[in-house]
Amino acid sequence: MIPLSWFLILSAALFSIGLFGVLSRKNAVAILLGIELMLNAVNINLVSFWRYGDVSQMAGQVFAIIVFAVAASEVAVGLALVISVYRRRNTVIADELDLMKW
Amino acid sequence: MTAMQIFFLITGLVILGSALMVVTTRNLIHAALWLIVTLFGVAVLYAILNASFLAVVQVVVYIGAIAILFIFAVMLTRKEMRDRGPQLNTGWWLNAIIALLTFGGLFWMLQGWNGFSKTAADFPSGYDAVGQLGKALISPDAFVLPFEVASVLLLAALVGSVYLAFNRK
């Protein structure tokens, strides 16, 4: 049987890779890809804690489903923003989007 | 080492390798395709964890909807990037150090916790995990309110993204 630690280490590594992507990518779409990796790492944690804790408490799986819904809405709004920005300013590079920089 | 553990290790290597390709590859279409590999690996993990409903939802929602949305967005914003020039910020090594420190901190925090190497108990006989999940989602004593709030959030995000991406010209 697989110990809980393997899942936790895997999800910590996946989270760190996603964090690296969010911090160092230039393209706004690629930043959203990194956020997806981080959300998936969180979901692995939630489901493995459900499986390794009390399986009759469904909170872990229900929360994972809510994370799915939030991730879907986040991607829809984020990509709509990127497309809208691209139409007006003809760039998707996060550094160049300094319209609201003071 | 049991067959299950070897299977887990292969899945984990596929997930981490493809996740590294997602954050480092130059061509964004390829990054989106590598993301599909990562998401499929996570679906396999859900299957290993006996969360069959979530494994199916992962394939349908993440791979079927979100990854395809990413590919569309990359194609709609392609003209400017053209995959030339550096795709990473100049201080990327500093970000790599931050990510490594995050992983180290998480690992250090987890290995001090006494439930760290616990193994899973078998399901009670006749236990129906998917049925329990369905009941928990619609039962007023459990999670019906968060479930409905999530559906309202999805509707609001849908309306908002249509409004944002609508071409007024």
Q: Taking the model in full, what pTM does it have?
A: 0.90
- CA dihedral over A69, A84, B79, B90, signed as positive or negative: negative
Which residues touch A27 (CB under 8 Å, ≥6 apart)?
Answer: A92, A93, A94, B28, B81, B87
The rounded mean pLDDT for chain A is 88
| Chain B stretch 60-99, residues whose beta carbon is closer than 8 A to a beta carbon of chain A | 61-62, 65-66, 69-70, 72-74, 76-77, 79-81, 86-89, 91-92, 95-96, 98-99
Determine, yes or no, domain membership for A100: no
CB pairs under 8 A between A and B: 255
Determine, yes or no, domain membership for A32: yes
pLDDT at A53: 83
Tell whether A97 is within 8 A of chain B (Cβ): no
Tell whether A76 is within 8 A of chain B (Cβ): yes
pLDDT at B168: 73
Q: What interhelical angle do B144-165 and B129-138 show, nearest 10?
A: 80
Which candidate from B20, B87, B120 shows the least CB-CB separation from A26? B87
- Residue B50 φ/ψ region, left for φ over 0, alpha for ψ in the -120 to 50 degree band, beta for the rest: left
pLDDT at A42: 94
Tell me what the mean pLDDT of segment B5-23 comes to. 92
Contact status, residue B106 vs residue A42, Cβ threshold 8 Å: no
pLDDT at B139: 85
Tell me what the mean pLDDT of segment A64-91 comes to. 89
For residue A66, give its domain range.
4-95
Determine, yes or no, domain membership for A101: no
Determine, yes or no, domain membership for A66: yes
pLDDT at B111: 85
Task: Pick the residue from chain A with its C-alpha nearest to B78.
Answer: A92
* Residue B124 clears pLDDT 80, i.e. is over it: no
Number of folded domains in chain A? 1
Tell whether A42 is within 8 A of chain B (Cβ): no
Tell whether B129 is within 8 A of chain A (Cβ): yes
Contact status, residue B69 vs residue A75, Cβ threshold 8 Å: yes
- Coil, strand or helix: which one is A27? strand
- Coil, strand or helix: which one is A3? coil
Cross-chain Cβ contact B89/A12 below 8 Å: no
Categorize the per-residue pLDDT at A78 as very low, low, confident or very high, splitting at 50, 70 and 90: very high
Predicted complex ipTM exceeds 0.85: yes
| CATH at A78 | 1.10.287.3510
Cross-chain Cβ contact B157/A73 below 8 Å: yes
Determine, yes or no, domain membership for A60: yes
Determine, yes or no, domain membership for A102: no
* Residue B123 clears pLDDT 80, i.e. is over it: no
Determine, yes or no, domain membership for A28: yes
Tell whether B7 is within 8 A of chain A (Cβ): no
pLDDT at B100: 92
Categorize the per-residue pLDDT at B75 as very low, low, confident or very high, splitting at 50, 70 and 90: confident
* Residue B149 clears pLDDT 80, i.e. is over it: yes
* Residue B80 clears pLDDT 80, i.e. is over it: no
Determine, yes or no, domain membership for A61: yes
* Residue A12 clears pLDDT 80, i.e. is over it: yes
Categorize the per-residue pLDDT at A96 as very low, low, confident or very high, splitting at 50, 70 and 90: confident
* Residue B26 clears pLDDT 90, i.e. is over it: no
